[in-house]
Structure 1
Amino acid sequence: MNSISDHHSDSHNSAQVPIDFAFVLASSVHDMKNSLGMLLHTLAEMMESSPPKDAEQARFFSTLEYEAARINGELVQLLSLYKMDEKTLAILIDEHHAIDIIEEQIARNDTLLKSRNIDIQIDCDPDLVWYFDNELVGGVLNNLIVNCARYCKKQLLVSATEENGFLCIAVADDGQGYPDSMLLGPLPQAAVSFNSGNTKLGLLFARKVLELHKTKKGQGYMTIANNGPLGGGVLKLYLP
Structure 2
Amino acid sequence: MTDPNIDFSMVLASAVHDMKNSLGMLLNSLDELRVENEQTLRNSSRFNTLQYEAERMHNDLVQLLGIYRLGENNLSAHIEEHFVPDFLSEHLARHTPLLEGLGIEYSIEAEEINGFFDQDLLTGVLNNTLNNAIRYTRKKIRLTAGERDGYLVIGVEDDGTGYPDSMQHTGTLSFKSLDFNSGSTSLGLFFASSVASLHREGSRAGSIKLHNGGSFGGGVFEIWLP
TM score, norm. by length of structure 2? 0.91
Render the CA deviation track for 1:90-144: whole Å, top value 9, x for unaligned: 5210111111221122011122111111111111123x00111111112111211
TM score, norm. by length of structure 1? 0.86
Matches within 5 A, 1:157-236: 157-183=142-168, 188=173, 189-193=177-181, 196=183, 198-236=184-222
Which secondary structure does the structure 1 equivalent of 2:6 belong to?
coil
CA contact (8 A) 1:226 1:234 kept: yes
Matches within 5 A, 1:116-195: 116-126=102-112, 128-183=113-168, 188=173, 189-193=177-181
Say what the alpha-carbon RMSD is for the aligned residues: 2.0
Q: Does structure 1 residue 39 correspond to structure 2 residue 1?
A: no
Larger radius of gyration: 1
Q: Which residue of 2 aligns with 1:71?
A: 57
Q: 4+ runs of 1 displaced by more than 4 Å?
A: 184-188
Which secondary structure does the structure 2 equivalent of 1:41 belong to?
helix
Partner amino acid for 1:191?
A: D
Partner amino acid for 1:231?
A: G
- Distance in 2, matches of 1:227 and 1:63, equals 28
Number of corresponding residues: 223
| Structure 1 runs not aligned, ≥5 long | 1-11
Which secondary structure does the structure 2 equivalent of 1:109 belong to?
helix
Which secondary structure does the structure 2 equivalent of 1:16 belong to?
coil
Q: Does structure 1 residue 29 correspond to structure 2 residue 12?
A: no
- Distance in 2, matches of 1:131 and 1:160, equals 13
- Distance in 2, matches of 1:124 and 1:145, equals 16
Q: Percent identity?
A: 41
Render the CA deviation track for 1:162-207: whole Å, top value 9, x for unaligned: 000000111110001112221268654352346x4x2211101000
CA contact (8 A) 1:173 1:230 kept: yes
| Structure 2 runs not aligned, ≥5 long | none
- Distance in 1, matches of 2:124 and 2:170, equals 24
Render the CA deviation track for 1:34-73: whole Å, top value 9, x for unaligned: 1111111111212222236488x61111111111001001
